[in-house]
């Protein structure tokens, strides 16, 4: 299952990066060649960068690519560290979900694209859940 999650997440990140690249090129073209930048291109690039950055952190966590110093050698200390990590990302999931629900309830939308801001903030609980999944998978396999 982890391989499927890795593949879907990696593919999604690559797709978002490709869309963001095309969007930025379009923004530069419309600004310097056409004389007037498309109003939505900068906002789309910003939202894609947010999603890429936060989901990229989850992907890096799943691949164990985050910079780390192995100070925790024995099992009890590793268990405590794992519980702290699970708690922290649990808070991220709960807080992110509350943020999504609040912005959906208030009906906030982005100015240029008109997207619901809850859709933009949805990346926070999704990423938190992915990191929790990866940490539980690593803890189970070790």
Domain count within the chain: 1
Q: Mind listing the pLDDT tens digit for each residue in 55-96?
A: 999 999 999 887 665 665 666 777 787 889 899 999 999 999
Q: Mind listing the pLDDT tens digit for each residue in 86-141?
A: 999 999 999 999 999 999 999 999 999 999 999 999 999 999 999 999 999 988 88
Task: Check residue 67 and give its pLDDT.
Answer: 67
Range of the domain at 41: 2-141
Q: CA dist 93 to 31, 35, 55, 79, 123, Å?
A: 39, 43, 13, 21, 10
């Amino acid at each position: 299952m982890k391989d499927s999650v890795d593949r879907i997440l990696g593919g999604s990140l690559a797709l978002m990066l490709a869309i963001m690249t095309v969007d930025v090129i379009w923004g530069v073209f419309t600004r310097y060649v056409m004389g007037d930048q498309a109003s939505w291109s900068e906002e789309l690039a910003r939202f894609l960068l947010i999603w890429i950055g936060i989901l990229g952190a989850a992907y890096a966590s799943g691949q164990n690519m985050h910079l780390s110093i192995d100070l925790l050698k024995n099992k009890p200390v590793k268990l405590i560290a794992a519980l702290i990590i699970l708690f922290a990302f649990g808070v991220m999931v709960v807080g992110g979900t509350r943020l999504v629900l609040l912005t959906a309830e208030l009906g906030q939308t982005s100015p240029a694209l008109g997207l619901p801001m809850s859709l933009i903030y949805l990346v926070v609980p999704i990423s938190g859940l992915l990191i929790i999944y990866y940490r539980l998978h690593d803890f189970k396999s070790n």
